[in-house]
Amino acid sequence: MANTYVPFVDGGGRIIASDLASALRERGHEVEKLDIPFSSVWHEMLEQMLAIRMIDVREQADVLITIRTPSHLLRHPNKRTWFIHHHRGAYDLWGTPYQDIPSTPRGIAVRDAIRAADNLYLPESQRIFTNSRIVGERLREYNDIDSTVLYPPLGAPARFVTRESSNYVFYPSRMLGHKRQLLAVEAAAHLTTDARIVLAGVPDDPGYLEQLRAVIAEHRLEDRVELMPTWIDEQVKADLIASSMGVLYLPFLEDSYGYVTLEAFHAAKPVITCQDSGGTLEIVEDSANGLVVAPDPCSLARAIDRLRESAEQARAMGAAGQRSLAEHDISWDNVVSSLLG
């Protein structure tokens, strides 16, 4: 299994790789993990891409599974790619403030090389999977490549159990702008029931945390909103989900549905998300297994109140959410048989 990673930075990209390695080993395969250090600095791109091309792992294994870009540049006659995302600065984020490559001749040459490498080397894979439809669509649009969606499951779902619902909704996630915890806090001011909101996660951006606190203070929401601006233990998280009415996941235009969504569904809890949240919409269906609202505080408050007002509905949606996992075949059995098939 080949994965690129950034040393000394914890990232979600590593979780999927180690979960996959475990799943493969549990099914009797021998897995060697190739973790390739990678810097995303634009002017170091070309040499790193060439380095990966020079590395020969053909003798090492029967199958090579590549994950994070540009590990798919590795050569192997039996290569399968589980494509998580492009180097987006060279693709859809080119021309936006998130463009991480300068628009100089050199920068453009690097951008073009990234695209050329993807176009040339992705097709070397016997099978190409993506972790969401959105990413698959981008592969088609930018690289003219077909792929199959293969949803990443949770590594250890057993701890996400169901308990009787209390009166709060829970939003576990790193606290930063595009996760929109602010939306949840503002919604608290419009609640008409006694529903509460619990937010937990490491604040990546201290300024953002200040903003959240300011809004809570301004609208005197201390009783409504509980802020846990820290990393929480997986078990603590599972417990908080278990007793919640439902889970919030409100990112802005994220590619994939997020592990939070899966955690909620494993615990048979409905998910509230926004119309512009992106990947969550691939498995959250409004009124079926959760609620999809417009990204404004009032709409969000109404959704939360709805869960508070009808525990039955909430329970039914939660159960449907659990069934969604099987319906979309979000399982390691599926992942392993797809990747190795």
Partner 1 sequence: MSDELKIAWFTPFHTDSAIGEFSQHVASELGKLAAVEIWTSDEQPWLESELPVIRFQPGEQRLAELRDRDAIIYNLGNYLDYHQGIYEVSREHPGVVILHDRVLHHLFADLWLQGDHKHPPKYIERMRVHYGQVGATVAEEVLKGERLPVWESEEVLEFPLYEESIETALAVVTHSADQARDVRDRWLGPVSELMLPSYRSVIERAARSFAGEVADLSDGRVRLLTIGHVNPNKQVDGVIRMLRSDPSLARLVDYRVAGSISEFTSYGKELAQLVALGGSQLSVEFLGRLSDEDLEHEIARADIFVNLRHPNIEGASASLMRELAYGRPVLCFDSGYFAELQRDAVVRVPPGDFDGLARRLRELLENPALRSEIGQRALAVAREHSEAAYARGLLALIAESQRKSAGLSFLDKVGGELGRMGIDARLPIFEEIADDFARVLDL
Partner 2 sequence: MRIAIVNNQAPFVKGGAELLAEWLQLKLSEHGHQAEVVRLPFQWRPCERIVDHMLAARLVRVPNADRVIALKFPAYYVKHDDKVLWLLHQFRQAYDLWGGPFQEIPGTPTGHRVREAIIAADRAYLPEAKRLYTNSQIVGERLKMYSRLDSEPLFPPLYDASAYRCEDYGDYFFYPSRINAIKRQHVVVEAMAQLSTPARLVMAGPPDTQQDLDQLLDTIARYDLRSSVEVIPRWISDEEKIDLFARARGVVYVPLGEDSYGYVTLEAFHARKPVITMADSGGTQELVSDGVNGFVASDVPAVAAAIDRLWSERAIAERMGAAALETIAELDISWDRVVRCLTS
Binding site for partner 1 (CB under 8 A): 46-47, 49-50, 53-54, 105-106, 108-110, 112-113, 116-117, 120
Site for partner 2 in 19-78 (CB under 8 A): 30, 32, 34-39, 41, 44, 47-48, 50-52, 54-57, 59-61
d(CA 300, CA 317): 17
The binder of 55, among partner 2, partner 1, none, by C-beta within 5 to 8 A per type, is: partner 2
Q: How many residues bind partner 2 (CB under 8 A)?
A: 26
Smallest separation (angstroms) from partner 2 to the CB of 204:
16
Smallest separation (angstroms) from partner 1 to the CB of 130:
22
The binder of 7, among partner 1, partner 2, none, by C-beta within 5 to 8 A per type, is: partner 2
Smallest separation (angstroms) from partner 2 to the CB of 30:
7
Q: Which is nearer to partner 1, 27 or 106 (CB)?
A: 106
The binder of 106, among partner 2, partner 1, none, by C-beta within 5 to 8 A per type, is: partner 1
The binder of 93, among partner 2, partner 1, none, by C-beta within 5 to 8 A per type, is: none
Smallest separation (angstroms) from partner 2 to the CB of 106:
17
Name the residues that contact partner 2, by CB under 8 A. 6-9, 30, 32, 34-39, 41, 44, 47-48, 50-52, 54-57, 59-61
